[in-house]
Chain A
Amino acid sequence: MRIIIAGAGEVGYHLAKLLAYEKQDIVLIDTDKDKLTQVANSMDVAVIHGNATYFSVLEEAQVSKANLVLAVTSSEETNIACSIISKQLGAKRTVARISNIEFLLKKEKNLLKQMGIDELISPESLAAREIKRLLKETAITDTFDFDHGVLSLVGIIVDEGSVLHDKSIWELAHLNPDHNFITVAILRNNETIIPRGNTVFHLNDHAYFIAEPDGIEHVLSFTSRERRTIKKVMVLGGSKIGFHTARKLSIKYRVKLIEKDKEKCFELADKLPGTLIINADGSDVDLLKSEGIAEMDAFIAVTGNSETNIISCLLAKNQGVPKTIALVENIDYIHLSQNVGVDTMINKKLIAANFTFRYIRQGEVLDLTSIHGVDAEILEYEVSESSYIAEKELKDVDFPKSAIVGGVIRKGQGHTTMGGFQFKPKDRVVVLSKPECIGKVERLFK
């Protein structure tokens, strides 16, 4: 597959990295020469220096042969123009990154489709969606539902009071006679570990499980963190993400949004009738206290400054807020989250890249998600009659070491899988895999 990526910013870069593992032909276009050199040195991709809306540049990238054009520069106008021109020049599918949510309305989407833009991605809106998903439970760090919750991914922190501390996966199996959950990944410092039987849980590990609905309770009992249903949320920063987050959350929760700029506050107050907008500096501790930070169930820091976000989350933690989420610009910071004490750090560009990756893989994969900070993807495949693994038992399949089967959805029922499990056609299999062996896993289902 020939894929053209316009924009070598963080979204473009991350996408190129994800796709390069897949052995796709990737052409990266950007106006920044230095960035391109850097990319060309670290990845097996072609780079073209130039403006992605120029015919000459697009022709040089052989846009007429492209299966996909991803316009993900930071400029909405460039992305839209690039997508439309590429489509006219013969590209099969186009994706444009946008920031104006008006485009995401159904009517406008159809219009843009007619013009030649097949899919739109808005990192801000996606990040807000992600935040909403993360707010489900205070005790868990990450969660994702497969097929409306017949199987769920649940992440917890192994803290001092946890029974998992210093136990191995085998020992854990004894605690789990019903076999209704399975450990799929452990995040320790910066390292993602796919657990084996002898893997031992350490203090402060982030442990991720795939669980059947009745297994979730069981998993939650492994952490001694306070469980609270979230009602009150404080959002720091009235940026686009802050706006989208408040807009999405105010349907379900009571939201307070804090923004420094008075003009912006008024604008936000106009667009967000259900949210209380506070005009204040987020670093003012007394003010945060007087606005009741201690009573909050969640604190979300999404200002433009990563450090401010992290520090204010720590402040919130200190005040007893059970759930904190910080937006960070620097992807490397994400791995710090467990060391620092912020529950989840998100990066909008990473989210956008993952979403786009998901879009590209549509058709081959039923569903796909990634966990913040974990260097692995969670994919959902369907077993067909001709699949290699059809009618085979799990223990007989030569599964790659960097991948693990989490569970199977059969006839709308979720099952966690042990060695003796036999795959049947039409089974939907949830697999966690490191990027480098996604290709191998895929072949098993072909």
Chain B
Amino acid sequence: MKFNFKIVVSLLGILLVINGGFMLMCLPVSLIYHEGGVVPLIISGLVSASIGGILWWSARKRTDDNLSKRDGYLIVTLGWLGMSLVGTLPFLLSGAIPNFTNAFFETLSGFTTTGASILNDIESVPKGILFWRSLTQWMGGMGIIVLAVAILPLLGIGGMQLFVAEAPGLKPDKLQPRITATARRLWIIYVGLTCAEFVLLIIGGMPVFDAINHSLTTMATGGFSTRQESIAYFNSPFIQYVLIIFMFLAGTNFTLTYYGFKGKFGRVWANEEFRVYMIGTLILGAIVSVGVYFNTGSDIERSFRNAMFQVVSIITTTGFVSADYTLWGPFLSILFFMLMFLGASAGSTAGGVKIVRHILLLKNGILELKRQLHPSAIIPVRLNNKAVSPEITYNVLGFIMIYLTIFVTSTCIMGLLGVDFVTALGSVATSLGNIGPGFGSVGPVNNFAHLPSAGKWFLSFLMLLGRLELFTVLILVTPYFWTRN
């Protein structure tokens, strides 16, 4: 098996050109607010676009348009790393984050929609740069490669390989026969929902700049805020309810959202994962509400709102904060820690394990009891009233096992780097799940700036691993990937 290096290089080039385009889109913001950052943005944009252009130009004489699975994995992983490297330029050049480690952490935390930040004083960063920070999340949410597939029909057949390697979930439901058309529809919904949220936030009295940024980071389930205190700063119930709803939507399978827009609600409700997601969120919200009510003494509405907000924020892996859940007593702290392993729906912008995997595994576990009684019976796991093939069950088993193994080893490694127990657990869980806030010294009201450099690099790696659902990245370190045939 030979790699089709020309197409890999060429696609990397295209991604960097798009990346540069997005950087230049931040210019108007910088110009309007006069807070600096104009020159760094122009330079970064041009650097990104020209590196991309050179790569694309150097591989222009493509003879073979075939994209194999390996090429797909390689492009996605290299693409994400490349964009994150170039994405640090605005932070570095503007001086907002002078340290390269921090800048890389922040950028990758953006692209992977984690939302963990090392910024100690967000408000002092120029608005143009902040906008770039939010935009990285928005690009990473739906996936920059999905976007490339959507707008560039030239990818054709290979588009599917890239889509699979980048888009979270078990397998993409094709809304349209052609992957390009599917990707385009997903992006239209994404853009549409972002605009809708922006309008509602403006109505709720949020300043225009904050509204744009929060819309971008909500739909990506990212969690970067333009305020140091995150959502708590605005202190508006309306804004919080709007965010709860949009975080929930961002954590819903976009294919279902598409059906919802078309009025096919039966089809939405027929989806088992959605039902569990919806009902589970409500039940957890109710439990936490009671906990908050008795722990903080807030009134019922406030307890409910804070509980719902935090629960939805963690489940959807967004990571916005309107109250500090670590102050709600040991039971709720532990519960929130566990929630970090849930993840929202497959096919959404959320990270983490994903509810459908939990459903499959739990059902499989229960059926194992029945299989003990009837050793020769064929008892498949059923999802959405369809039998799931054993291969998929094995895949999910493998995924969760690897996920937990990585979690355990990574926590140990963080300990080795001198991080305390609770912080190590929290930072690893939150990075791997692309959530944002953790526990201990990286809790909802703290940030990641004080962690050792090595720790930041390591967490960055975990974020990328989590965002690309383990396999895409891990496959690159297996010997099978590099041996011919």
Closest chain-B Cβ to A217's Cβ sits at a distance in Å of 38
CB neighbours (8 Å) of B374 from chain A are 276, 278, 291
Q: Kindly state whether residue B32 has any CB partner on chain A within 8 Å.
A: no
Q: Kindly state whether residue A294 has any CB partner on chain B within 8 Å.
A: no
Task: Report Cα–Cα, A268/B378, bound state, in Å.
Answer: 9
Q: Kindly state whether residue B174 has any CB partner on chain A within 8 Å.
A: no
Contacting A277 at CB < 8 Å: which of B378, B385, B389?
B378
Given that A266-B387, A269-B387 are known contacts, is A278 also in contact with B376, CB under 8 Å in the complex?
yes
CB neighbours (8 Å) of B377 from chain A are 276-279
Q: Kindly state whether residue B379 has any CB partner on chain A within 8 Å.
A: yes
Contacting B385 at CB < 8 Å: which of A273, A287, A291?
A273
Contacting A279 at CB < 8 Å: which of B376, B385, B387, B389?
B376
Q: Kindly state whether residue A219 has any CB partner on chain B within 8 Å.
A: no
- Per-residue CB proximity of B345-382 to A under 8 Å, as 1/0? 00000000000000000000000000000101111101
Q: Kindly state whether residue A265 has any CB partner on chain B within 8 Å.
A: yes
Q: Kindly state whether residue B386 has any CB partner on chain A within 8 Å.
A: yes
Chain A residue, CB-CB nearest to B380 = A269
Q: Kindly state whether residue A280 has any CB partner on chain B within 8 Å.
A: yes
CB neighbours (8 Å) of B382 from chain A are 273
CB neighbours (8 Å) of B386 from chain A are 270
Chain B residue, CB-CB nearest to A266 = B378
Contacting B379 at CB < 8 Å: which of A262, A276, A280?
A276
Closest chain-A Cβ to B376's Cβ sits at a distance in Å of 5
Task: Report Cα–Cα, A269/B389, bound state, in Å.
Answer: 11
**How many pairs of residues, A versus B, come closer than 8 Å at their CB atoms?**
33
CB neighbours (8 Å) of B378 from chain A are 262, 265-266, 268-269, 277-279
Closest chain-B Cβ to A18's Cβ sits at a distance in Å of 41
Task: Report Cα–Cα, A266/B379, bound state, in Å.
Answer: 8
CB neighbours (8 Å) of A265 from chain B are 378
CB neighbours (8 Å) of B376 from chain A are 278-280, 287, 291
Closest chain-A Cβ to B325's Cβ sits at a distance in Å of 40
Interface-centre pick from B380, B382, B386 (highest chain A CB count, 10 A):
B380
Task: Report Cα–Cα, A257/B380, bound state, in Å.
Answer: 14
Given that A278-B374, A291-B374 are known contacts, is A270 also in contact with B380, CB under 8 Å in the complex?
yes
Task: Report Cα–Cα, A273/B379, bound state, in Å.
Answer: 9
Task: Report Cα–Cα, A268/B379, bound state, in Å.
Answer: 10
Q: Is the CB of A270 within 8 A of B387?
A: yes
Cβ < 8 Å to B, chain A residues 225-270:
262, 265-266, 268-270
Cβ < 8 Å to A, chain B residues 384-416:
385-387, 389
Task: Report Cα–Cα, A273/B374, bound state, in Å.
Answer: 16
Closest chain-B Cβ to A238's Cβ sits at a distance in Å of 10
Task: Report Cα–Cα, A279/B376, bound state, in Å.
Answer: 5
Chain B residue, CB-CB nearest to A270 = B387
Task: Report Cα–Cα, A276/B375, bound state, in Å.
Answer: 12
CB neighbours (8 Å) of B380 from chain A are 266, 269-270
Task: Report Cα–Cα, A291/B376, bound state, in Å.
Answer: 9
Task: Report Cα–Cα, A278/B389, bound state, in Å.
Answer: 16
Cβ < 8 Å to B, chain A residues 354-373:
none
CB neighbours (8 Å) of A277 from chain B are 377-379
Closest chain-B Cβ to A45's Cβ sits at a distance in Å of 47
Q: Is the CB of B379 within 8 A of A269?
A: yes
6 interchain residue pairs of minimum CB distance: A270-B387, A265-B378, A277-B378, A269-B378, A280-B376, A278-B377
16 additional contacts (CB under 8 A) given A262-B378, A277-B379: A265-B378, A266-B387, A268-B378, A269-B378, A269-B379, A270-B380, A270-B386, A270-B387, A273-B382, A273-B385, A276-B374, A277-B377, A277-B378, A278-B374, A278-B376, A278-B378
Q: 30 pairs across A/B with beta carbons < 8 Å?
A: A262-B378, A265-B378, A266-B378, A266-B380, A266-B387, A266-B389, A268-B378, A269-B378, A269-B379, A269-B387, A270-B380, A270-B386, A270-B387, A273-B382, A273-B385, A276-B374, A276-B379, A277-B377, A277-B378, A277-B379, A278-B374, A278-B376, A278-B377, A278-B378, A279-B376, A279-B377, A279-B378, A280-B376, A287-B376, A291-B376
